[in-house]
Structure 1
Amino acid sequence: ITVISAVSIIGGLLINVVIWTLPALRTPVHVPLASLGCSDILVAILPNSMWIVHILHPQWEPPPALCWITAYVSPVLFGVSVSHMLCIALQRYFKICTYSTRLKSTRVLVIMLLLTWSVPFASFLPLHVGEEVKVDPKLKQCQTGASDKLWAKIPAAILNLIAPFVGTLIVYVLIRKHVRKSKKRVRANAEGSDPNRLAITKMMLTIFVVFNICCMPLVVMVIFSSKVPAEVFTVGGLLVTLNGALNPIIYGVMNTNIRQGYKRIWDSMLNYIT
């Protein structure tokens, strides 16, 4: 778990360095990837590190303030990750399926990213204000106790899980439908400033698929927590941790420019050492 978290942090830092230092990658297309990398870093630093401590020292009780922050940040960052999937899908839809320069603009991308981060932070806050938090023996994480705030739970679930997930699926279906019906138009668009537009879309879709494979098992476990053994929760948490480590690998495998950026940084490190 520690190794996976370390890989997530290094990978998140690496993808940000590659995107912001290489002119070929310093484009709006790659900005959501840098933002998602920041989210992966934050997940590895706080929720994952606390989870590791609880596994190694089951009797340890964190300070109340730290426990509250962890209980609040954990679902928030999950919501941020899910929202990134929708943000990425919408950006690909605007690039491939529309002619609107406004929808393809940097301004729209910035607004989407601001919503991607701000909505989870705002929507989960009512669930945690004034609530008692404690370590859940199954999740091995700080969690709020049983709350009767149904008015806060339903909007948080819709805004951070149901709407982004369903929205992302719908957008990729629309992209696929557009590609199949209008191949000539897609080729004409792909001959513009971004010749790898469809390849990038496939990479983004792969990120979404891997995210669901890694994270949805734990979501199902939480829903049916009373019937799930603690050991199974550990496996689910490990899969969630693995997602952050896999993202930079997917970028390198499926994107030539990012792979070249990795190689450039590696060569620079070797030259510095030698």
Structure 2
Amino acid sequence: MATSSGSADDSVDEGVSKHTSKIMLSVILVTIIILTALGNLLVMVALCKDRKLRKKKTNFFVVSLAFADLLVALVVMPLAAIELTTGQWKYGETFCLIRTTLDVLLTSASILHLCCIALDRYYAICCQPLVYNNKMTPVRVSLMLVGCWVIPIFISFPIMQSWNTIGIESFIEQRKFNSSHNSTCVFMVNRPYALVCSTVAFYVPLVLMVLAYQRIYVTAMGHARRIGSLHRAGSAPSSTYPNHNQQGSSRIKNETKAAKTLAVIMGCFCLCWAPFFITNMVDPFINYSVPWQMWTAWLWLGYINSGLNPFLYAFLNRAFRRAFLMILCCGNEHYAPQEGFNPSRRQSESVNGTSISLRLINSKSMKGQKSIFKQTKKQGAQNKCVRL
């Protein structure tokens, strides 16, 4: 009797523990989904309301990225959360194909948008203004945006045709048999699809982003050294105009901060998606022995990247932060950008939000640094855009 009672108590405790764990998991997943949806919706609203944000070409990619991430939060993540918390798939084989197709399409689109943003920043920071304007024309920006959506369509189309399962039907049946419920949405890919999909959706964008940010960093440091030499050579005339030194330092700080901001975004992208795509390429070559728990963890880590992007913009980008505060504070004028006259702004020019030159208004100060500016101009003419 005592043994029977003890076994019953253990089973009850185990059942309560499982129920508690399921509730905690549900709360965590729902929180992730809500934060991802609200964050990306906030980015889209900010771009719609703030006219200055809409003037920057980069933000066309940002709003398209936010739309892709919003769809991930509203379509992909809820279905994945339901399957994870209930332990089964209740919507049939056809809807399973639709779900996995949308999953691959939207997450790939999100990754490609991050790549385009990195390339846009490369042209803005590492090239002269005219080069940037010639490279990032409205037509080219539109083509890049179309590519961010068309390429994922081609990547995800084979899933609807079940081309990704050719030759691995036995592994899929075994995975279904080993699951706790017969009804489960199994997504497995053969070797050709794993190699092509991972390369196009992750590894190529990753290489381009690394190269772009590496050149941005090198260019920012080069600018800092040149500005430092200008300050030292023109210290006497610059003392008459103290704002010159301040503007030079501000320029380098802005460029370095822009590079660091995007580097943080790329770092989060690598941290979130690298485990999944590495596993995606390795698993077909080790007879699909990666446990489903690891697959689920890596997949949700990738989903979290869609929720991180708007918060990275909010904390690391002043223009977005001001726009977010304007929205959340119901248009409080305290957070509105100042439109008054600012003399220091006339001493600098910007292209798409990135400072590209310092202009000394007084001709006397220009004479004191004429030779240095000529040398810098010649160097810029020889190398108008740092090659990737």
Tell me the TM-score normalised to structure 1 length.
0.83
Larger Rg: 2
**RMSD between superposed Cα atoms in Å:** 3.0
Determine the structure 2 residue equivalent to 1:47: 76
Partners of 2:184 and 2:281 in 1: CA distance: 16
The Cα of 1:265 is off from its aligned counterpart by 1.0
The Cα of 1:269 is off from its aligned counterpart by 8.1
Determine the structure 2 residue equivalent to 1:240: 302
2:35 is aligned with 1:35: no
Aligned residues: 262
Determine the structure 2 residue equivalent to 1:14: 42
Q: Is the CA contact (8 Å cut-off) linking 2:217 and 2:256 kept in structure 1?
A: no
Partners of 1:182 and 1:162 in 2: CA distance: 30
Q: 1:70 to 1:204 in 2, by over 3 A?
A: same
Q: Is the CA contact (8 Å cut-off) linking 1:5 and 1:241 kept in structure 2?
A: no
Q: What is the percentage of aligned positions where both structures have the same residue?
A: 21
**SS of alignment partner, residue 102 of structure 1:** helix
Determine the structure 2 residue equivalent to 1:211: 269
Partners of 2:185 and 2:208 in 1: CA distance: 30
Partners of 1:55 and 1:105 in 2: CA distance: 45
Tell me the TM-score normalised to structure 2 length.
0.60
Determine the structure 2 residue equivalent to 1:110: 142
Partners of 2:150 and 2:257 in 1: CA distance: 30
**SS of alignment partner, residue 134 of structure 2:** coil
Q: 1:269 to 1:39 in 2, by over 3 A?
A: same
Partners of 1:177 and 1:141 in 2: CA distance: 50
The Cα of 1:124 is off from its aligned counterpart by 3.0
2:151 is aligned with 1:119: yes
Q: Is the CA contact (8 Å cut-off) linking 2:50 and 2:323 kept in structure 1?
A: yes
Q: 1:266 to 1:141 in 2, by over 3 A?
A: farther
Counterpart amino acid of residue 106 in structure 1: P
Counterpart amino acid of residue 178 in structure 1: T
Q: Which has the higher contact order (CA 8 A, sep 6+)?
A: 1
- The gaps in structure 1 that reach 5 residues or longer are none
- The list of structure 1 runs, each at least 4 consecutive aligned residues, that deviate by more than 6 angstroms after superposition, is 132-136
Q: Is the CA contact (8 Å cut-off) linking 2:195 and 2:281 kept in structure 1?
A: no
- The gaps in structure 2 that reach 5 residues or longer are 1-28, 228-246, 333-388
Q: Is the CA contact (8 Å cut-off) linking 1:93 and 1:171 kept in structure 2?
A: yes
Counterpart amino acid of residue 208 in structure 1: M
2:209 is aligned with 1:168: yes
Partners of 1:261 and 1:83 in 2: CA distance: 25
